[in-house]
Structure 1
Amino acid sequence: MKRVSMQVAGTIALGFASFAAIAAEAVKQDQWPFSATPRATFSEPWAMTFLPDGTALVTEKRGALKHVDVKTGETHDIKGVPDVAYGGQGGLGDVIIHPDFAQNKRIYLSYAEKGDGGDRGAAVARATLELGNGGGSLSDVQVIWQQTTKVSGGGHYGHRLAFGPDGKLWISSGDRQKFTPAQDMESTMGKILRLNDDGSVPDDNPFADKGGVTAQIWSLGHRNPLGIAFDADGRLWEQEMGPEGGDELNLIERGGNYGYPEVSNGNHYGGKPIPDHDTRPEFIAPKITWTPVVSPAGLMIYSGDQFDDWKGNAFVGGLSARGLVRITLNGEEASEAARYDMGARIREVEQGPDGSIWVLEDGDGGRLLELQPK
């Protein structure tokens, strides 16, 4: 899929994009404030999560779930993963663990699944993880959510997952490159969704009284949300790819409408204009927009002690930016603080149990890197 090339480090638009500033030039490797140690290599890795014992799970887009000893780099396959519809931006996506994983051993996977006649859609399954003999398997696999509806094409699944401080399961759902479903309350495409851990709908969702798939919706008007994370105060932040320009970092509000495709700080591919957010104040504007784009992937808000000065900062992987973007969060406001040139497309960023930062490079041969303070 076509993306705007990186011509400068980036232009940031804050609030309604009435103020623009040029981002700092990307920090080169010899000036990084951290070391980056390769720990393992994967084929098209997409997401990762840590287990309580310090090992990790890593998804590969073609459908493999790997159990990884991050100290030795040894990896083993987990059996029983649902069949995935691989192609385009689709395949095996996110992986997270249940807040009570130590007791119930439950994990959650997102993936693209086939429909009729070549149609596809995102889905979320939960399963019980059983480890042993170097590998492991999934049992009691249950599909608890499916994107409504399945459509043609292979783009914009979104399907990032997170558990919130409220114990609810949050799902980002892309517009599948179909535009109008992002504003359609009878579709889950182009939305942020909030569910109970079994896939049922919480009674206190903003549109719960509407019933059906509408009841799942927490916010709408999103394009391709590829990262969601909660800060220390329980606020939900989301990043998404814009069209030709206009990548976004958003603070998600209950029942909020973020405007896509009616507004964007980018334009349609081919140059057809889209009105900016400041022309439609009824829509919620992003806290940061990037043009040229960074092609954001993954979102982590740091809470560890290894990088004490970065506590409370957000980190976004950059695909076209080929780097790691650090963002200062100040209450409900945000600004880019630094950009680190990693020399590769960065698909995922996570915090390790000891406060280290971990990133996954995109594509075949994508490395898992551990970042530690110098």
Structure 2
Amino acid sequence: MRGPKNGQIKTDRRGFLTGLLAASLAPRLTWADAGDPAYLAAAREADGTFALFGLSLNGTDLFRIPLPARGHAAAAHPTRPEAVAFARRPGTYALVINCVDGNVMHRLTAPKGRHFYGHGTFIDDDTLCCTENDVATGEGRISLWSRSAGYARIGDIPSGGIGPHDIKLMPDGKTLVVANGGILTHPDTGREKLNLDTMRPNLSYVDPASGPVETITLPPELHQNSIRHLDLRADGLVAFAMQWEGELGAPVPLLGLHIRGPNPIDAEPILAEPAPADLAALKGYAGSVSFDGTGKRIAITSPVGGKMLVHDLEGGDWLWPRRDVCGVASSPSGFLVTDGLGGVFRIIGEQAENLALANRAWDNHLVKIG
């Protein structure tokens, strides 16, 4: 067999080097290439199909990407126009979607004996963290996935509790905070809650390299108050929303606050205490939580109660009635809110402005990008 001629070798090498140069000079896609969305939200369409939407600050649609099944939350890459859409728990897959062309770039599959809990976050440009359940042990885990390796799974660490749900990266850029709901589930029984009598939720701070470094628990009488969702303020103040799993009687707190101090072991959570009638209207269920754009007010939503409660850290609360309200995120001077009736609202002070109404049902969460 004859080998290639010298000229052919030079041509191939030149072509190879030219390709490398072209790749290095290729434009780096950003969220601006996807329309510069401010939020991500999943929804069920009128025909029963599902999709992921990118929304502007004013709540208008910027893109629509079909999903194979009902979504829950999504994780937005900090700089690239990529979203990781999670199946509703207990799901075993998540889709990495290119928000410019709508293509599915990768499918993350939980290993045998694991399932996702519907939330995740990036801790840098390369590493995605997802909350998971170890079915055999019931232990919460945080799985790590590398974007540069094609979103390959590169390990996992303990979440610090049972039933990890929401997860956020703290403002220090190196610590995770995890809402361990305390509820044990098993794929064989779907969403059935298996340990309500003994559940013990907590808020865990986790080092991605080693695991939990601090755990915050509720008073014993609130051990059935499942810590589910989180939001952060720039100074590290954590707001967490809870769902009461006991018998409904006297209203229980549904919004908690915590900030790490110089003596973390002494830092107890602060539980907001709105008027009992306002709290009772939420029917023991807070579905989402968010600071507003000023950082002075916090909203929790209750699709069960059909209400949103806004708690002012400087004093005072406001209850807004809206059927099937759940998604909430900060906007520059207030909140953006979505509901199961297709509505998108801007809340400033105690005024609600209807920005959009579409023939779709928005799902639980409105995810802020950036």
Segments of 5+ residues of structure 1 without an aligned counterpart are 1-32, 132-136, 150-156, 183-188, 203-215, 259-283, 304-309
- For normalisation by structure 1, the TM-score amounts to 0.55
> In the TM superposition, what are the counterparts of 1:210-359 in structure 2 within 5 Å?
216-221=214-219, 223-242=225-244, 243=246, 244=248, 245-246=251-252, 248-252=254-258, 254=264, 255=266, 285-288=271-274, 290-293=279-282, 295-303=285-293, 312-321=296-305, 325=308, 327-331=310-314, 335-336=317-318, 338-341=320-323, 344=324, 346=326, 348-350=327-329, 357=336
Specify whether residues 113 and 322 from structure 1 end up closer, same or farther in structure 2 by C-alpha distance, changes over 3 A only.
farther
Give, in whole Å, the separation in 2 of the partners of 1:44 and 1:345.
Answer: 17
Specify whether residues 170 and 311 from structure 1 end up closer, same or farther in structure 2 by C-alpha distance, changes over 3 A only.
closer
Residue number in structure 2 paired with 1:82: 110
Matched, 1:197 2:208: yes
Residue number in structure 1 paired with 2:154: 141
Give, in whole Å, the separation in 2 of the partners of 1:68 and 1:319.
Answer: 28
Report if aligned partners of 2:74, 2:367 keep a CA contact under 8 Å in 1.
no
Residue number in structure 2 paired with 1:168: 175
Q: Which has the higher contact order (CA 8 A, sep 6+)?
A: 1
Report if aligned partners of 1:84, 1:111 keep a CA contact under 8 Å in 2.
no
When the two chains are superposed, the root-mean-square deviation of aligned CA atoms in Å is 4.1
Percent of aligned pairs sharing the same letter: 8
Residue number in structure 1 paired with 2:136: 115
Cα deviation for residue 225 of structure 1 reads 1.0
Aligned length: 259
1:59 to 80, 86, 92: 86
1:298-322 deviation digits (Å, cap 9, x = unpaired): 322233xxxxxx6644343433145
Give, in whole Å, the separation in 1 of the partners of 2:331 and 2:81.
Answer: 8
> In the TM superposition, what are the counterparts of 1:29-68 in structure 2 within 5 Å?
35=59, 37=61, 39-40=64-65, 42=67, 43-51=69-77, 52-61=79-88, 62-68=91-97
- Counterpart of 1:192 in structure 2: which amino acid? L
Describe the SS at the equivalent of 1:291: helix
Report if aligned partners of 1:247, 1:296 keep a CA contact under 8 Å in 2.
no
Report if aligned partners of 2:98, 2:105 keep a CA contact under 8 Å in 1.
no
